[in-house]
Chains A and B, each alone.
Chain A
Amino acid sequence: MEDLKLELKTKIIEALNLEDIELTDINDDDPLFGDGLGLDSIDALELIVLMDKDYGIKLTDPKEGKTIFQSINTMAAYISEHRTK
C-alpha cells in the first residue's frame, strides 16, 4: 500500500503539472482539493482519466469521485480494491 501511495503522488504531480510540489509536500491524508493541494475541476477530470488509463477503473458517477479523491489514502484504498491492471 505504501508503494501505491508513493506511485500515486508521483503520477499526480506529473499528470497535473504540479511543478512546485515535491513528493514530500503531499501527506497521505492531505485534502487534494480546496485547502490541500488546491486542485480544480479540470484536475478532477484528469484524475478520472488517470484511474482509467493506469488502473483500469472507470468512474461514471461524479459523486463517487468526491469521496475517492479526498486524499492519497482514499485514492489508494479504492484503487487497491477495484483495479483491473
Chain B
Amino acid sequence: MNTEYHISTFVSIKKNFIFLNGEKWFSVDTKMSFSEFSKSVYKHLGMEYPKFYKMDHLSKLGILAAETLFNHQGFSPEKEEIALILSNKSSSLDTDVKHQESIATADEFFPSPAVFVYTLANICLGEISIKYNLQTENAFFVFEQMNAEFLSIYASQLLHSGKAKKALCGWVEYYDENFEAFIYLVEKQGKFAHNTETIEKLYKH
C-alpha cells in the first residue's frame, strides 16, 4: 500500500463523455468522430492554442484530459513540479498507420513531416509538457491493459525520490476512432489513498 500519497483529482474520457472526479462534466448527444468531439471539448474548455489542431489524436486526447484536470485544480501547472507517467495499449499505432499509408506505394510516396513527428507515443507527453511548460520527469509505457499496480509503484518511487512533487498518471489510448483516457493527479493531499486498489476502482468508475 502506497498511502503516503493521495489522488486529488481524476478525469475520464470515454466515447462522447468526460467525467471529472466521477461526475459527468461534459457530453455530446450525437455520435461524433473523434475530430468533432475533440473540437467540441476544446471549445468548451475555452482553449486558445492553435497548435492543438496540428496534433495527432493521441496527443489531443492527452491534452484535453490534462486541461480538464488542471482547470479544475485551478493552479499554474508549471509551478507545481508535476511529473508525467502515462500508458496505453496501442502506442502511436494510429499515426504509424497513417504514415505507413503515405509511403506504401512508389508512385504516391509523400510522407508527411507533420504526421511523422507523432510516430512515437511519448510525443503525447512532449505536447503536454510544452503546453504547460513542464520541465519534469516523464515516461510513457505500453501495456496490454491499464496497469494500476505498475503506475502506483512508479509514481510513488518518483515522488519519494524528490524528482517531482506531483505526478499526473494514467491511461491515454487511441486507435482508429476508439479512445479512452483516464488520468489522475497524485500528490501529498487528496481525497483518495494512492494505491493499486483505489486506482483500479476509479478507473472502472
Contacts and interface: CB of A to CB of B under 8 A. Distances in A.
B110 interface: yes
Contact of A46 (B39, B50, B53, B114): B114
Given A17-B54, A19-B50, A46 B113 contact: yes
Contacts of B117: 42
A20 interface: yes
A39 to B, nearest CB: 10
B54 A49 contact: no
B135 interface: no
Contacts of A42: 54, 113-114, 117
A18 interface: yes
Nearest to A50: B110
Interface residues of B, number: 10
Interface of chain B: mostly helix, strand, loop or mixed: helix
B157 interface: no
Contact of B112 (A18, A19, A20, A46): A46
Contacts of A38: 50
| Most chain B beta-carbon neighbours within 10 Å: one of A16, A17, A20 | A17
Contact of B53 (A17, A45, A52): A17
Contact of B113 (A17, A19, A49, A53): A49
A20 to B, nearest CB: 6
B201 to A, nearest CB: 38
A3 B136 CA distance: 49
Nearest to B55: A17
A16 B55 CA distance: 11
A16 B110 contact: no
B105 to A, nearest CB: 13
B110 A52 contact: yes
Contacts of A49: 110-113
Interface of A: 16-20, 38, 42-43, 45-46, 49, 52-53
Interface of B: 39, 50, 53-54, 110-114, 117
Given A20-B50, A38-B50, A46-B113, 14 more contacts: A16-B54, A16-B114, A17-B53, A18-B53, A19-B53, A42-B113, A42-B114, A42-B117, A43-B114, A45-B113, A45-B114, A46-B114, A49-B112, A52-B110
